[in-house]
């Protein structure tokens, strides 16, 4: 079973069997990618399953929908409760939650006036996104595909069709024996991974790029920056040049799925001696404690299921 532990789906306000959560081939969202989604992790903690930064994810879900002028027929509180409900209904602990809203069937004109906005939330037990890379380091390809510019598509929105760009890049990376791709932006600066934000550790400074870069502003990125500052580490948010990857002591990814994953190889050449760096591992340790409710300072980031 590809979606381990998934037996129930929240769809348009009701919990239904997984097998019944289907859509019609004429759906606008399928034909043109007109949908928005979120990726959220829930963790088993000593106090039961807890969802990491649920409010921030629900906020971004509504922000993405707003950009595409999709009126979600639910409130933020209803979506928040539905995320918790779907974890409970499936009896899951550690899991990944996927809220999605898309234009359903009604018309295939691109301007789509008559398509209903359908909303679903499903969840399943998903392990480390980059597998053993989480602890051992991931191998990355600098993609020949560029990340689209914010003047082409709203980079700050998490929209279905926008991921065609990521799919091209990651497919190329896998074909070349790598685990993940890094994309440059239109100007040749570093953008991000196909599904992660990118950090450099250079002269003991934690560096990443900001909303003005062609990135999805990550909730994990913001959390890791906060953790770094709490640890007294210097941080800098600025444009990053591709050559800086090789000039840095350490490189790592952040993302809901990837969590904090060291990058130890670029284009088949070792980075930081081919081993996860000490600063990366320090940030990763605090992050993984925070998500599991083992660090009281970050207890406010967790919502009990
Ligand atoms: N960039 C892209 C393109 C992504 O898909 C993701 C995953 N949502 C991220 C960055 C990281 O964002 P977050 O930390 O909010 O998951």
The whole-angstrom separation of Cα 71 and Cα 135 is 41
Q: Are 225 and 275 in contact (CB under 8 A)?
A: no
Query: Which domains does the chain show, CATH number per domain?
Result: 8-124 (3.30.470.10), 133-291 (3.20.10.10)
Asked if residue 197 has its Cβ within 6 Å of ligand 1, the reply is: yes
**Residue-wise pLDDT tens digits, 280-296:** 999 999 999 999 999 99
DSSP 227-264: HHHHTT-EEEE----TTHHHHSSEEEEEETTTEEEEEE
Tokens encoding 45: 């903690």
Alpha carbon of 256 to ligand 1 centroid (Å): 7
Tell me: pLDDT of 211 over 90: no
Ligand 1 atom closest to Cα of residue 221: 14
| Distance (Å) from CA 194 to ligand 1 centroid | 8
CA distance 165 to 191: 13
Q: Phi then psi for 250, rounded to 5 degrees?
A: -145, 155
Ligand 1 atom closest to residue 57's alpha carbon, by position in its atom list: 15
Question: What residue's CA is closest to ligand 1, atom 2?
Answer: 195
Residue 112: predicted pLDDT: 79
Tokens of 164: 């065609």
Residue where the block lists tokens 């990944």 = 96
Active site residue 139: no
| Sequence-ordered alpha helix ranges (H) in the chain | 28-32, 54-67, 76-90, 133-136, 163-175, 219-230, 244-247, 278-291
Q: Looking at residues 237-243, what average pLDDT do you find?
A: 98
Of 54, 195, 208, 215, the residue with max ligand 1 atoms within 8 A of its CB, to mutate for a pocket test, comes to: 195
- Mean pLDDT, residues 219-233 taken together: 98
What average pLDDT is seen over the chain?
A: 97
What is the C-alpha to C-alpha distance for residues 36 and 151, in angstroms, rounded to an integer?
18
Task: Say if pTM beats, i.e. exceeds, 0.85.
Answer: yes
| pLDDT tens digits, 38-62 | 999 999 999 999 999 999 999 999 9
Give residue 258 CA to ligand 1 midpoint distance, Å: 9
């Amino acid at each position: 079973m590809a979606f381990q532990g998934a037996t129930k789906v929240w769809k348009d306000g009701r919990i239904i069997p997984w097998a019944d959560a289907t859509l019609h081939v004429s759906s606008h969202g399928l034909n043109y990618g007109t949908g928005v989604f979120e990726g959220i992790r829930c963790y088993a903690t000593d106090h039961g399953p807890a969802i990491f930064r649920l409010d921030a994810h629900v906020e971004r879900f509504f922000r993405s929908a707003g950009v595409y002028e999709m009126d979600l027929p639910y409130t933020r509180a209803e979506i928040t409760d539905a995320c918790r409900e779907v974890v409970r209904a499936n009896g899951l602990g550690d899991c990944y939650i996927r809220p999605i809203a898309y234009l359903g069937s009604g018309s295939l004109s691109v301007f789509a006036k008559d398509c209903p906005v359908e909303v679903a939330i499903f969840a399943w037990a998903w392990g480390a996104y980059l597998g053993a890379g989480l602890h051992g380091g991931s191998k990355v390809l600098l993609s020949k595909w560029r990340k689209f510019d914010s003047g082409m598509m709203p980079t700050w929105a998490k929209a279905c069709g926008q991921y065609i760009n990521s799919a091209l890049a990651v497919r190329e990376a896998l074909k070349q024996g790598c685990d993940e791709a890094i994309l440059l932006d239109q100007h040749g600066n570093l953008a991000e991974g196909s599904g992660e934000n990118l950090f450099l550790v250079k002269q003991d400074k934690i560096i990443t790029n900001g909303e003005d870069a062609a990135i999805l502003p990550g909730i994990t990125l913001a959390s890791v920056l906060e953790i770094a500052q709490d640890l007294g580490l210097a941080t800098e948010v600025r444009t990053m040049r591709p050559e800086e990857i090789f000039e840095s002591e350490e490189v790592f990814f952040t993302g809901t799925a990837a969590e904090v994953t060291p990058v130890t190889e670029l284009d088949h050449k070792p980075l930081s001696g081919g081993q996860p760096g000490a600063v990366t591992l320090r940030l990763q340790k605090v992050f993984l404690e925070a998500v599991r409710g083992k660090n009281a300072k970050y207890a406010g980031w967790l919502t009990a299921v």
